[in-house]
Amino acid sequence: MNGSQNLRTLLRLDGEHPCPADGNLHRLILSEYERGYVANWRAPSPISSCRLKAVELLKNSASPQHEYILAVVVDSNDHTVGYIRLERTDVSRSVLSPTRCRSPASSTSHSSSDLPPAVHRISIYNDEPPRDGARVVYSYTWLDAGRRPSLVELAAVVVAIHEDKQCYWYAGMLMYAIVGEDVKGLVSSAAVQYPDNEQGGRIMVKANKAGTFATLFRIVTTQDISAEHARLEPALKAKKTAFHEQLAAYRHDLLHRVQFERTSPEDLERLQDEFKSRDETRVSG
Contacts of 75 (CB under 8 A, 6+ apart): 5, 46, 49, 50, 81
More confident: 84 or 14: 84
71-75, 133-137, 248-252: segment of lowest average pLDDT: 248-252
Q: Using CA of residue 174, residue 180, residue 184, residue 189, what is the dihedral sign?
A: negative
CA distance 178 to 149: 7
CB atoms within 10 A of CB 164: 18
Instruction: Report the mean per-residue pLDDT for the chain.
Output: 81
User: Model confidence at 72, in pLDDT bands (50, 70, 90)?
Assistant: very high
Q: What are the Cα distances from residue 273, in Å, to 250, 267, 276? A: 17, 10, 5
Closest to 32 (Cα-Cα) out of 23, 42, 21, 44:
44
Q: Is 262 exposed, middle or buried (0-12, 13-18, 19+ CB in 10 A)?
A: exposed
CA distance 12 to 94: 23
What's the pLDDT at 63?
53
Q: What is the DSSP letter of 187?
A: B
pLDDT in tens, 88-102: 876 544 434 333 333
Cis? peptide before 129, omega within 30° of 0: no
What's the pLDDT at 259?
56
CA distance 187 to 214: 9
pTM: 0.80
With beta carbons less than 8 A apart as the criterion, state whether 149 and 140 touch. no
Closest to 233 (Cα-Cα) out of 243, 225, 244, 245:
225
pLDDT in tens, 165-183: 889 999 999 999 999 999 9
Q: Using CA of residue 162, residue 163, residue 164, residue 169, what is the dihedral sign?
A: negative
| DSSP 3-state of 122 | strand
pLDDT at 61 > cutoff 80 = no
